[in-house]
Amino acid sequence: MDQLREECGVFGVYNQSEMDSAHMGYFALQALQHRGQDGCGMAASNGGPAQLIKNIGLVTDVFQHDGLGPLMGKKLLIGHVRYATSGATNVLNTQPLLMKFQGGFLALAHNGHLVNAPALSRYLREDGVLFQTDMDTELIAHLISRSRAKSMPERIKEMMECVYGSYALVLMTRTHVYGVRDPWGIRPLCIGKLGDTYMVASESCAFDVLGAEFVRDVEPGEIISIGKEGIQSYRTPVRENHGTCLFEYVYFARPDSVIDGIPVYQARRRAGQMLASVQQVDADIVAGVPDSAIAAAQGYAEASGIPYGDVLVKNRYIGRTFITPKQQARELAVRLKLSVLKKQVAGKRVLLVDDSIVRGTNSIIIARMLRDAGAKEVHMRISSPPVKFPCLFGINTPTSKHLIGAQQSVEDLRKSLGLDSLAYLDLPLLEQAVSDYNQGYCTACFDGNYPMDIHKCKNCVSILKKIKKERQR
């Protein structure tokens, strides 16, 4: 993986177990930490005023400093780990967002990105709304709080009619926790259960750490309500061309998660197997770039018969490789995060499997590190197609002019990276690797086929205007 950053992770629970909700949220957010490292927070309530703790930093840092005390003993809780896809990285823009409204309070956390957020924001500002942040999350909260629908599910449904884009939401009121998935199903959300306690999370790995069972995925356009009466489901129309982000299986999700019924590890391993069947090379050792490409590399080794071995070691105590304009500093950052097992590569033909190439900067450095360690040949196989188009749904892919897969042919890129050979997995084979069933995926970053008409949706506020006219009658 080459400088592509994750989205966010969400968790919500209405707790009826002996385990305290604050501890459940703390451990669940740690399990989701790979989805966001800019900031985190939790909000909790027992039916009264909500308690909120949030700050910049990792889960362990934020809650070691601030403690869990104010959140303890509460039944209702939602949490969030953030990567800033919209809005600056500061405490104000960390989540959950907590606001008062006529029903008491509304706490909200969001994973995704709204295509028509700027247009909706302009419309609401002109209508007198004052925004405290520059997050899509606050826009969603205002749409819900301004609704005149009688029930919270109906308020949420009205909001869903107005927004275009991706979202997995957790919401908390005085009495209920809600989980909401966008009608295109782009961002993942699933349901877990521990005894009589129900919960929702971005990935099933959050349930595993709590000893909870995975129940099912939240369906596209579905609203899940959890309260003292148990769990209820409300459906909204599913959009045409709905499908989960394919990159969840390639990179973003943890390998031990299950998304839309598909084990992520299995999908990655199958991608490696298919890659070996169509993109063979003579090599002495197959290795993966830690961590997300390991399963694909193991699959490649299994299918090709070439021995698998680790050649790169990841420093677990280093966070994201920082982005710096100076090449020397950038290379030092990569070397700090990854080191080469020299005896594993010296004099050998090394086949390195990675999940994707974005800008190509890290790949150049890694190839050079392997050659400096004595590798006779360095080959690279990518378990996904070239990334050629920007993601508009919560991942920070740059514009096409900064995506090396869009700017160079595979052969030119091979030369730029200093490789003996380079090959990608084709999109149809990647889709087949994820599932034998054609259930549909968002593949926009690979082929430019966005699940919605971006230009049409970008300025869409028609539903809001319609609602306003109906109120004035």
What amino acid positions are annotated as catalytic residues? 8
Residue 449's contacts (CB-CB under 8 Å, 6 or more residues apart) are 443
Residue 405's contacts (CB-CB under 8 Å, 6 or more residues apart) are 357, 358, 385, 386, 387, 388, 413
Tokens of 78: 């939602």
The CA angle 296-300-301, to the nearest 5 degrees, is 120
Instruction: State which amino acid sits at residue 385.
Output: P
Looking up tokens 């500061």 gives 90
Instruction: State which amino acid sits at residue 227.
Output: G
Residue 43, strand partner residues: 52, 78
Tokens of 298: 């193991």
Q: From residue 253, how far is each of 193, 322, 345 by CA, in Å?
A: 20, 21, 29
Tokens of 186: 């782009």
> DSSP characters for 364-396?
HHHHHHHHHTT-SEEEEEESS----S---SS--
**Nearest in space to 51 (alpha carbons), one of 10, 96, 17:** 96
Question: Phi, psi at residue 286, to the nearest 5°?
Answer: -110, 135
Looking up tokens 């900031």 gives 39
Helix (H, G, I), strand (E, B) or coil at 67: coil
Q: Do residues 55 and 39 make contact, with C-beta atoms less than 8 angstroms apart?
A: yes
| Helices within 93-183 (DSSP H only) | 117-126, 136-146, 152-162
Q: In the 8-state DSSP scheme, what is residue 400?
A: G
**Cis status of the peptide bond prior to 49, with omega within 30 of 0:** no
